Structure 1
């Protein structure tokens, strides 16, 4: 049974809600606003957008709530086990009587000092012109080789290789492994890039002297990639020496470091920044189907052009045949020969377009040169044939003082025995025609 104590010592009897409010008021006056450092555990995001978690260390823990408005301002996704610094208001959740911290802001622990270093280096390099757009180079549409710098054990390597194999399996990739996290990472990345630079420079310097079957890799673009992480994880890519090495690249360099919201000094120095490693690979690898479609279009245009040239040459041959006149047998043989040549030319052009359609390399600069040379060769052969036909023209013989005689039936008179005295004959001269009558025959 509840015993009533002495009236002078009796404590005040509180309503539960009133006591919770009084405690909350005391906390508000004594502690708020408050900043706390601790490790996240039990993090969850409700469908409403509010976040709930617990901050703990070796001595204790406290429940936290971060409402949607504050959570929308985060520049990273909190994870269990992550060390963070939060600021907010300490209070009491009256419905359960629990002590809780209403979080109004959060950042990774230690991020503030690192971010200040990042901003100072960024301002310095930007003032020196390392980030200027004028020095950024466009990416090659069809690189002959791709250089890649990343950790051989990183997921980013798998993502990049998978994307390149799917889109451009015919383009070689030269991997130079490097550390991408830790104190030794900046020097390791610089060393890997320097090796790729040397390969790229050697390939360009000796390009004209190398045989076609040379194994010397041609590096036309370089990818520098790493997966996402905290600012500490990506800190190697905020190194000043690395930044100056990147801007010295002899070929365009693409930076694909972290996730879409992550930015490093390397991103600003690179010729192009990709939001992810996979995106970096896609930027330098136009899908093979696109180039094959363009190749089919060019092959169709080439075949149409060749056919037009063949038709034009046929028309010119027909006109030349009409000018030759009577020697139809010889003309027919020449026409047959020319038709054969035209057919062979058409067949050769068809074979060449089929071969070109099977090879993605035909899209490079050699295609127009090959077809132009082929057309020139065919044109010269046709012109030589036309010249030979023109030499057989009887008109050239007539211009030397000879005449072409034909009898009344129009048959050529080649022997005196073909006509009799008194018969009419027709003479075709170089500049006109004569109607004659045979007076006398002489046999030689």
Structure 2
């Protein structure tokens, strides 16, 4: 009878009781493991499992939490999470509801990153109101990065393709290691003191949080914020975030993206120039029409006020012809000047020179923009880069014979 009278629980009630017991028994726990079965849903929530050699557990991280992670987890990533332990009642699965997630082994760095980020945000360094728009037509562009970085080559190639007419100034510096922050700050200071560029690209390729740590320096953040020249940050890959990204006037997902944001395309500039020309011609025509109407009104008044209206009409007709001729000559001059400027712009395009069969030899052990100008600079067994109309090639001369 005692077995019959005992309360019978539903499965849902049992699962809820287990969930309540787990939540009461465990406070927030830190768990380390390897990402498995990761899926990001359209809702923004993440579902995956954490596993190691002895077992696995289901995990959920909701959209409001995972927006602070700074990278997209991948299968096999080793991570550390802080979470509350509970149960998903409909399936009866024990699961972790994750509050924070970081790469394994970087807890100290990540916590320092979050602490500095919160401090600078409170000081207003990330506020959109203090950030400046980039110049639409920069006179020159500055690049702060390592002279040996692959990111520099990508940026220079992008700028050469989009806007070959814009001069480039490279401010080389270390971008990794304990001396990198001071070097980057010095490069920013030099660019501001010289004041020859209208926008600065601060770029570096991807890497681990340790590799990118120079861009999480507090003094560098203040230097970027106090720069008189707008700064575009293009550090790492799209999922990498640094303090420099938050304080810069604009963040680009990659170094190439930074170059694309800073440099207008040449064909777009020509379109804008054509639009300005059309607007100018329209304004001129409108002015001519208004002046012609004024002359007609004067002619009508004079025809009634003067004793010899036929003669005055002839004079007015002559004046009208002279006016139209004057405007016609001026408009023709403007059109010729416009055509000349467009021709000059095309002649200055270095690509046209290369297409005529010429090549440019660049020294690789000096500034990347240094072009070889004399045969004595062609040193055997040194690497050089040759730029041609259809591409680039890296060469090493076995022997150089200088002809008189």
Describe the SS at the equivalent of 2:183: helix
Conserved? CA contact 1:189–1:242, under 8 Å: yes
Q: Which runs of 5+ in 1 are unaligned?
A: 1-33, 56-61, 88-102, 201-217, 361-444
Conserved? CA contact 1:53–1:63, under 8 Å: no
Conserved? CA contact 2:145–2:204, under 8 Å: yes
- CA 1:233–1:313: 2 relative to 1, 3 Å: same
Shift of 1:166: 2.2
Conserved? CA contact 1:159–1:278, under 8 Å: yes
Shift of 1:37: 8.5
- Aligned pair count reads 291
1:108 aligns with: 103
Shift of 1:267: 1.6
2:334 aligns with: 349
- CA 1:265–1:308: 2 relative to 1, 3 Å: closer
Matched, 1:179 2:157: no
Describe the SS at the equivalent of 2:274: helix
Shift of 1:299: 1.0
Matched, 1:196 2:174: no
Match of 2:149 among 144, 151, 154: 154
Conserved? CA contact 2:145–2:171, under 8 Å: yes
Conserved? CA contact 1:259–1:275, under 8 Å: yes
Conserved? CA contact 2:203–2:235, under 8 Å: yes
Shift of 1:232: 0.8
Describe the SS at the equivalent of 1:325: helix
Shift of 1:286: 2.7
2:11 aligns with: none
1:137 aligns with: 132
2:215 aligns with: 237
Describe the SS at the equivalent of 2:203: strand
Match of 1:254 among 204, 214, 232: 232
1:290 aligns with: 268
TM-score by length of 1: 0.52
> Deviation per CA, 1:203-243, whole angstroms, max 9, x where unpaired?
xxxxxxxxxxxxxxx31111111122111111111111211
Describe the SS at the equivalent of 1:197: helix
2:287 aligns with: 309
1:222 aligns with: 200
Shift of 1:289: 2.4
- Once residues 303 and 329 of structure 1 are traced to their aligned partners in structure 2, the CA distance between those partners, rounded to angstroms, is 29
For the pair shown, which has the larger CA radius of gyration, 1 or 2? 1
- Once residues 205 and 125 of structure 2 are traced to their aligned partners in structure 1, the CA distance between those partners, rounded to angstroms, is 24
- Once residues 152 and 254 of structure 2 are traced to their aligned partners in structure 1, the CA distance between those partners, rounded to angstroms, is 12
Describe the SS at the equivalent of 2:263: coil
Equivalence map 1:291-440=2 (5 Å): 291-313=269-291, 316=295, 319=299, 325-326=310-311, 340-355=325-340
Shift of 1:174: 1.0
Shift of 1:288: 2.7
Equivalence map 1:86-105=2 (5 Å): none
1:118 aligns with: 113
Conserved? CA contact 1:150–1:178, under 8 Å: yes
> Deviation per CA, 1:366-418, whole angstroms, max 9, x where unpaired?
xxxxxxxxxxxxxxxxxxxxxxxxxxxxxxxxxxxxxxxxxxxxxxxxxxxxx
> Deviation per CA, 1:293-334, whole angstroms, max 9, x where unpaired?
222122112112223434555562893997663499988877
2:93 aligns with: none
- Once residues 124 and 59 of structure 2 are traced to their aligned partners in structure 1, the CA distance between those partners, rounded to angstroms, is 40
Shift of 1:79: 8.9
Describe the SS at the equivalent of 1:222: strand
Shift of 1:176: 0.5
- Once residues 226 and 132 of structure 1 are traced to their aligned partners in structure 2, the CA distance between those partners, rounded to angstroms, is 24
Conserved? CA contact 2:200–2:230, under 8 Å: yes
TM-score by length of 2: 0.57
> Deviation per CA, 1:415-439, whole angstroms, max 9, x where unpaired?
xxxxxxxxxxxxxxxxxxxxxxxxx
Q: Which runs of 5+ in 2 are unaligned?
A: 1-28, 40-45, 83-95, 346-404
Conserved? CA contact 2:38–2:74, under 8 Å: no
> Deviation per CA, 1:57-86, whole angstroms, max 9, x where unpaired?
xxxxx699898979x978657899998769
Describe the SS at the equivalent of 1:182: coil
